[in-house]
């Protein structure tokens, strides 16, 4: 398979999986509210090709193509819809919050010692 065909195959697969349902989950009804999960979705892929005319693994002049990809999804919040209004409620990343607090404490101790 030539690199152009391989790359086109990867692009077609990514286009097929990229939809609104990838980012927004199925709505859930609870206590007069509609809750819609929201995620951050990231795609990454690479492809390459080569020929082996100068020795190496393909010493007989063969050609080869490789590629790969990945998808990463992480929750970022929910949309809450009621009769009165709709609002986005973010999911807090506790590790970032703890890291920021620790950095703040460290900097506070550092400045306190200098005085």
Write the pLDDT tens digit of every residue in 70-84.
777 888 899 999 999
What pLDDT does 85 receive? Answer: 94
Q: Which residues contact 28 (CB under 8 A, 6 or more apart)?
A: 34, 35, 36, 37
**How are strands ordered across the β-sheet holding 33-51?**
28-30, 33-51, 63-81, 86-90
Q: Considering the entire predicted model, what is its pTM?
A: 0.53
Structure tokens that stand for 60 in this block: 């007989």
Mean pLDDT of all residues belonging to the chain: 78
Residues in the chain where the model's pLDDT stays below 50: 58
What pLDDT does 67 receive? Answer: 72
What pLDDT does 61 receive? Answer: 61
């Amino acid at each position: 398979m030539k690199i152009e065909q391989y790359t086109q195959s990867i692009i077609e697969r990514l286009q097929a999986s990229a939809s609104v349902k990838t980012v927004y989950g199925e709505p859930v009804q609870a206590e007069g509210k509609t809750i819609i999960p929201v995620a951050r979705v990231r795609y990454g892929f690479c492809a390459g090709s080569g020929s082996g005319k100068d020795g190496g693994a393909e010493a007989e002049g063969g050609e080869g193509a490789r590629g790969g990809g990945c998808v990463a999804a992480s929750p970022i919040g929910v949309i809450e819809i009621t009769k009165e209004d709709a609002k986005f409620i973010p999911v807090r990343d506790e590790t970032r919050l703890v890291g920021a607090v620790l950095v703040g404490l460290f900097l506070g101790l550092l400045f306190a010692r200098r005085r």
